[in-house]
Amino acid sequence: MTHSNPTRVSAELFDGQSLLAQPVCLELDGEAARVVGAEAPAAFALSSLRVSPRVFNAQRFVALPNGWELVCAEQPALARLPQASSSEGPVAWLEQRISVAVFAVLATIAGVVAFYFVGLPRLADAVATRIPPERERTFGEGTLRTFDTNLTRPTSLDTETLRQVRAGFDDIRKQLTPASSARLEVRDSPGIGPNAFALPGGVIIITDQLILTCSVDESIAILAHELGHVRYRHALRHLIQESGVAALGTLVGADASSASLSASMLPIVIAQAQYSQGFEAEADAAGFAMLRRAGWSPALFASCLGKIAARGKLGDPGIASYASSHPPEADRIARAEAAARGFVPSRPPKRPADRVEAEPENASAPVPTTDHE
């Protein structure tokens, strides 16, 4: 049954034959649609037409089953046509309610932020527990090789200083429960400056610059903190959080060679990493406990942070490096001093590290294999 007064929609016709548009009229009459005014008028079932989604008051496109396309202004009559997209209704509804759209955008941002600060750390913890130690060590060794290629060079400290630092490190490492295979690497790196950090798999790097800035005993206290990071696998968990899906794919699904290749992009991330306050508090507490069991006072940790902070305020080049990755906040120094309160150290203080690079270790003694010199 046809209507006596069909709805008319003014439009321009593109028939695919001519480069010029033809002015036509689309008549909507019940369940039928007719194109009037074209060189070859045509009729179609209304259900065979498709109209493009509404975007505010932009022009609409009507696709006809014979390949023609009509372009017309937005108007209520087009609501009778089948929609090309099933989302047109909700989208148009949102476009007319800006406050709802703004709320949706803010809710999405809040969801992403919540996932980053809450969901992603929990996901990283779950993934880290499923990564075999062998895979983690392979990843860390690849990162160390890239450090040695691009950021560090062999240590220039004298043999006795290195012996004392390594001996202290070994004493602290024995306090880890369960026993750890962590190892120490001493490197010279003016670019990184006074710093120490743990790589995935238990490799700990300490720079000559940190040992020269602090005493040997204070450097050992810093290494106790880094062993705390090793105990809780903070380096791996941090990299998973920061690298997101890419790190998950590499560490969980890739082979060892792929992991080593991906490690080449991560040394700077590790060197400049800022662990969360939770990670730092865990590493501090574990480090203080290991120091006390081994006979060193946690006050050494506080004094080393104080020296780095003091020299940084004087504008010493590179001194801000440790502060950027292990912020020497007043509350961390206060926690170290509190942990040392009432504790009587059983270790005699070691001599200070030499302040000159007069005799590199490799000039007077065989090169230890752990330094990759």
Domain locations along the chain: 7-85, 97-130, 133-371
Instruction: Collect all residues with Cβ–Cβ distance below 8 Å to 63 and sequence separation of at least 6.
Output: 49, 50, 51, 52, 69, 84
If you write DSSP's letter for every residue of 41-70 in order, what string do you get?
A: -EEEEGGG-EEPPP-TT--EEEE-TTS-EE
What pTM was computed for the model?
Answer: 0.59
Q: How many CB atoms lie within 10 A of CB 168?
A: 23
- What is the model's pLDDT at position 97? 64
Fill in the DSSP letter of residue 120. Answer: H
Report the sign of the C-alpha dihedral through residues 245, 249, 252, 256, in that order: negative
For the chain, the farthest-separated pair of C-alpha atoms sits apart, in whole angstroms, at 108
Peptide bond before 178: cis, by omega within 30 degrees of 0? yes
DSSP letters spanning 182-241: -EEEEEE-TTT-S-EEEPTTSEEEEEHHHHHHS-HHHHHHHHHHHHHHHHTTHHHHHHHH
DSSP per residue over 266-287, as a string?
A: -HHHHHT----HHHHHHHHHHH
What pLDDT is recorded for position 196? 93
**pLDDT at position 248:** 45
CATH fold of 7-85 reads PH-domain like (2.30.29)
> What pLDDT does residue 57 have?
78
Give the pLDDT confidence score for residue 284 in this predicted structure.
93
Residue 213 is encoded by which pair of tokens?
Answer: 């800035």
Q: Per-residue pLDDT for the chain (373 aa), expressed as one digit of tens each?
A: 455 688 999 999 998 888 788 999 999 998 999 999 888 889 999 999 999 887 777 899 999 999 999 999 999 899 899 987 665 556 556 556 667 667 878 888 887 777 767 777 787 778 888 888 888 899 889 989 999 999 999 999 999 999 999 999 999 999 887 667 899 999 999 988 899 989 999 999 999 999 999 999 999 999 999 999 999 998 888 887 776 644 444 444 444 444 444 444 455 455 545 567 788 889 999 999 999 999 999 999 999 998 888 876 544 555 445 555 555 468 889 999 999 999 988 877 765 544 434 344 444 444 343 343 3
Q: How far is CA 31 from the centre of its chain?
A: 57
Strand, helix or coil for residue 22? strand
In this prediction, residue 182 carries a pLDDT of 92
